[in-house]
């Protein structure tokens, strides 16, 4: 099992290097995700665009070590952006394109803002830049689903005995009153790389205001609303999402594109 060792613990990762001198696509999972739950989407995108790929489980998820602290602070995604850069440096990855889903999308935006020289382009899918009531209601419904169905058992297949901790870290952080004013819009103007914002038309965790806010705040942003999709277009509308992403990555890597 490929592991990277840090003072904080171990990180499980998959790093596929098959195209010399080509970008590395870095996939950042959501608040309940992990390497395995991406399925074959990263490999499909990488192979169709002749790019390398990196996927990893953040601390507290999948096959990586447990969370570093019992409770999250409001800046937890900023800290994840800092760690992402540390991870890229450890693997000697310099030419990278980020694809982040949900929390992973927010982390991608923060990394692009804080370390603009490290990131070639950003793709977000269902990312958040502030808290909305639709997000909180979606999380409340997820808590009820977790309580009344076998969702916990399904998640344990991927996260093992870390499942309860990661579910609580997501739900209790976002639903806590002190998180209501969380907002990263002030970071966005520092993002100078091309930024592509993907969101399902029926996303149950965020409105079009998230998309428009990212487009307005970043220097070079375009958005794509995916029909017949909710919070996870790369699964719910796989063909269209894959086509859009592959086309944009191919354009990015043309000699005339900076």
Give domain status of residue 113, yes or no.
yes
Which CATH number fits the domain that encloses residue 167?
A: 3.40.50.1820
What is the pLDDT, as a whole number, of residue 253?
A: 77
Say if residues 30 and 103 touch (Cβ distance below 8 Å): yes
- CA–CA gap between residue 175 and residue 177 (Å, rounded): 6
pLDDT digits (tens, 9 = 90+) for 192-238: 999 999 999 999 999 999 999 999 999 999 999 999 999 999 999 99
Give domain status of residue 114, yes or no.
yes
Look at residue 74 and tell me whether its pLDDT is greater than 90.
yes
Q: Please give the tally of structural domains in the chain.
A: 1
Give domain status of residue 106, yes or no.
yes
Give Cβ neighbours of residue 28 (< 8 Å, ≥ 6 apart): 84, 98, 99, 100, 101, 103, 104, 105, 107, 108
Give domain status of residue 258, yes or no.
no
Give domain status of residue 239, yes or no.
yes
What is the pLDDT, as a whole number, of residue 255?
A: 61
Give domain status of residue 194, yes or no.
yes
Task: List, as own/partner pairs, every contact residues 207-215 make where C-beta atoms lie below 8 angstroms and the sequence separation is at least 24, other chains included.
Answer: 207/132, 207/134, 209/132, 210/127, 210/128, 210/129, 210/130, 210/132, 213/129, 213/130, 213/185, 213/188, 214/109, 214/124, 214/127, 214/129, 214/188
- Which residue range forms the structural domain that includes residue 211? 3-252
Give domain status of residue 257, yes or no.
no
The pTM assigned to this predicted structure is 0.97
Look at residue 258 and tell me whether its pLDDT is greater than 70.
no
């Amino acid at each position: 099992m490929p592991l990277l060792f840090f003072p904080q613990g171990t990180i499980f990762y998959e790093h596929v290097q098959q195209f010399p001198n080509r970008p590395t696509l870095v996939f950042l999972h959501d608040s309940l995700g992990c390497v395995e739950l991406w399925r074959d989407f990263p490999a499909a995108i990488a192979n169709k665009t002749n790019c390398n790929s990196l996927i990893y489980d953040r601390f507290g998820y999948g096959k990586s070590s447990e969370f570093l602290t019992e409770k999250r602070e409001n800046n937890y995604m900023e800290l994840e952006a800092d760690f992402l850069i540390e991870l890229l440096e450890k693997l000697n990855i310099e030419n990278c394109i980020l694809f982040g889903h949900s929390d992973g999308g927010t982390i991608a935006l923060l990394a692009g803002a804080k370390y603009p020289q490290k990131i070639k382009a950003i793709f977000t899918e269902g990312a958040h830049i502030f808290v909305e009531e639709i997000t909180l209601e979606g999380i409340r419904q997820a808590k009820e689903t977790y309580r009344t169905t076998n969702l916990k058992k399904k998640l344990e297949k991927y996260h093992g005995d870390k499942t309860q901790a990661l579910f609580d870290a997501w739900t209790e952080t976002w639903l806590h009153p002190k998180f209501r004013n969380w907002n990263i819009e002030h970071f966005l103007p520092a993002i100078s790389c091309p930024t592509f914002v993907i969101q399902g038309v029926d996303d149950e965790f965020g409105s079009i205001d998230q998309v428009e806010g990212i487009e307005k705040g970043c220097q070079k942003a375009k958005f794509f609303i995916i029909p017949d999709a909710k919070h996870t277009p790369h699964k719910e509308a796989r063909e269209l999402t894959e086509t859009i992403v592959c086309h944009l990555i191919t354009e990015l890597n043309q000699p005339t594109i900076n």
